[in-house]
Amino acid sequence: MFPFDSNSPASNGADWREDEAAFPFDRVINRRGTLSVKWDDVHRVFGCEDVWPMWIADMDFPAPKEVQEALQIRIEHGVFGYTVIPDSLKEAVCQWLKRRHDFAIDPSWLVFAHGVVPAVAAAIEAFSKPGDRVIVFSPVYRPLFDLVRRHDRTLIFSPLRLTENNYAIDWDDLEGKLPGARLLILCHPHNPGGKSWTKEELERIGELCLKHGVFILSDEIHADLTFPPAKHTPFASLHPELAAQSATFRAPTKTFNLAGLQAAEVIIPDESRRRAFRRVQQRHGFFTLNTFAIIGAEAAYRHGGPWLDALLDYLRQNIDMTAAYLADKLPQLRPVRPQATYLVWIDCRGLGLSEAELKKRLLEKGKLAVEFGSQFGQEGVGFIRLNIACPRPTLEEGLRRLAMALH
Ligand SMILES: Cc1ncc(COP(=O)(O)O)c(C=O)c1O
């Protein structure tokens, strides 16, 4: 049994409505024709037109208005020459981490990048050699294991175990694979499934990695999207020794829906590791962020807190609504309640369909695009991932299509 409805704390649904102008999550905005991968690129990705897009992980909500205003002011200036990353951005990131995650970092630990994926790629290059063993928990966000293969490292999956609540680490499997490994890539919170790893789990991972001299890459891009009472513990906040043995990847882009601006920050406390990472970035010609990434990120981290709180509340209601709908109309599907992320991972194995059949039903009959489980590795087969970060009418339409496809 998946306790989808039970442990969910009562959500405070009235809040965001009180100031709908500031938090217009219910407003449906047409994204077609805006170069949106999610809405404009479905034909290339899924081979059919007119499918309702609930796949790639961005949201159908406008960014916080303070971010829009800051960008507008900068656009009106009209001159877009080379940029420098200001100390004020580093300060905004540090203050955000302290405020939201009780994580105090030294600004000098921060390095910026175009995205978490390019930053993880640079880290693999900086901290390992071809042939080195790299461990990744699976199923997992595909680029995290694709990057390992593309860098000619030896990819080692450590399959997670699906439990009643969410995923759990198979400690015996992990311990068996750590000796001789160079890197462990952690997805925290985990995508798919939205598992927020607990302090105890992280400490145990850290202890084992220290014992075997394995360096940890902790992808924490979904950290800000953790639903209370779950609490995100930054891996590097556990202990100075673990901070030195890790690099943490974060971004304002997932939190504030700014993926098109392309920005991420990497926290690398150990100076020689940080230098090695910067050398790889420089080898690839990366020196700075674009103007809009800098302006957008700083405005978001400085002013986006109330918007994020309202967003989390709205997302939680969307998750509840999805759970209730599935329980009513599609009881054979077993959703995993995310402790973080707006991505609902749904076990469809009860339908007894192959992934090809499931795909055909969803795309051709339901006209619905979701992420199909094999994208996340072999352990994901039989699952789909539904992106519920959209206005409620958009979600209702998606769920209606899902039911239509599977009835
Ligand atoms: C776990 C994880 N890491 C990284 C990314 C993408 O990061 P970026 O767009 O900054 O490259 C995603 C996007 O969905 C993700 O889920």
User: 376 pLDDT exceeds 90?
Assistant: yes
Alpha carbon nearest to ligand 1 atom 13, residue: 57
Q: Which residue has the tokens 């239509």?
A: 404
**136 & 240 share domain:** yes
**75 & 159 share domain:** yes
| Model pLDDT, residue 20 | 66
| Residues 99-152: tens digit of each pLDDT | 999 999 999 999 999 999 999 999 999 999 999 999 999 999 999 999 999 999
Contact 147, 280 (CB under 8 A): no
Instruction: Read off the pLDDT band of 8 (50, 70, 90).
Output: very low
Alpha carbon nearest to ligand 1 atom 9, residue: 115
Mean pLDDT is lowest, of 2-11, 111-120, 150-159, 397-406, for 2-11
| Model pLDDT, residue 4 | 35
User: 164 pLDDT exceeds 50?
Assistant: yes
Is 210 among the domain residues? yes
User: 5 pLDDT exceeds 80?
Assistant: no
Helices 392-406 and 305-329, axial angle in degrees (round to 10): 30
**107 & 201 share domain:** yes
Tokens encoding 388 = 């519920």
| Model pLDDT, residue 165 | 86
Distance of CA 115 from the midpoint of ligand 1 (Å)? 7
Distance, CA of 259 to CA of 155 (rounded, Å): 27
Average pLDDT over residues 162-168: 94
Distance of CA 257 from the midpoint of ligand 1 (Å)? 12
Distance, CA of 152 to CA of 164 (rounded, Å): 36
Q: Of the candidates 245, 270, 303, which is a domain's last residue?
A: 303
Is 182 among the domain residues? yes
Average pLDDT over residues 78-105: 98
Is 258 among the domain residues? yes
Average pLDDT over residues 219-224: 98
The CATH number that applies at residue 400 is: 3.90.1150.10
| Model pLDDT, residue 19 | 61
Closest CA relative to residue 2, chosen from 337, 229, 325, 318: 337
| Residues 244-281: tens digit of each pLDDT | 999 999 999 999 999 999 999 999 999 999 999 999 99
**392 & 356 share domain:** yes
| Model pLDDT, residue 397 | 98
User: 6 pLDDT exceeds 60?
Assistant: no
Average pLDDT over residues 176-181: 98
User: 384 pLDDT exceeds 70?
Assistant: yes
Write down the mean pLDDT value for the chain.
95
Distance of CA 142 from the midpoint of ligand 1 (Å)? 10
**75 & 182 share domain:** yes
Average pLDDT over residues 336-347: 98
HEC profile of the chain = CCCCCCCCCCCCCHHHHHCCCCCCCCCCCCCCCCCCHHHHCHHHHHCCCCCEECCCCCCCCCCCHHHHHHHHHHHHHCCCCCCCCCHHHHHHHHHHHHHHHCCCCCHHHEEEECCHHHHHHHHHHHHCCCCCEEEEEECCCHHHHHHHHHCCCEEEEEECEECCCCEECCHHHHHHHCCCEEEEEEECCCCCCCCCCCHHHHHHHHHHHHHHCCEEEEECCCHHHECCCCCCCCHHHCCHHHHHCEEEEECHHHHHCCHHHCCEEEECCCHHHHHHHHHHHHHCCCCCCCHHHHHHHHHHHHHCHHHHHHHHHHHHHHHHHHHHHHHHHCCCCEEECCCECCEEEEECHHHCCCHHHHHHHHHHHCCEECEEHHHHCHHHCCEEEEECCCCHHHHHHHHHHHHHHHC
Average pLDDT over residues 191-211: 98
Q: Does the CB atom of residue 57 touch ligand 1 within 6 A?
A: yes
Tokens encoding 246 = 């890790």
User: 7 pLDDT exceeds 50?
Assistant: no
Range of the domain at 242: 69-303
Structural domain total, the chain = 2
**226 & 98 share domain:** yes
**352 & 242 share domain:** no
Contact 266, 117 (CB under 8 A): no
Q: Of the candidates 242, 277, 303, which is a domain's last residue?
A: 303
Find the radius of gyration of the CA atoms of the chain: 21
User: 13 pLDDT exceeds 70?
Assistant: no
Q: Does the CB atom of residue 221 touch ligand 1 within 6 A?
A: yes
User: 298 pLDDT exceeds 70?
Assistant: yes
Is 203 among the domain residues? yes
Q: Does the CB atom of residue 253 touch ligand 1 within 6 A?
A: yes
Average pLDDT over residues 142-171: 97
Average pLDDT over residues 48-73: 97
Distance of CA 249 from the midpoint of ligand 1 (Å)? 10
Q: Quote the Cα angle for 113-65-300, to 5°.
A: 30
Average pLDDT over residues 286-303: 97
User: 17 pLDDT exceeds 80?
Assistant: no
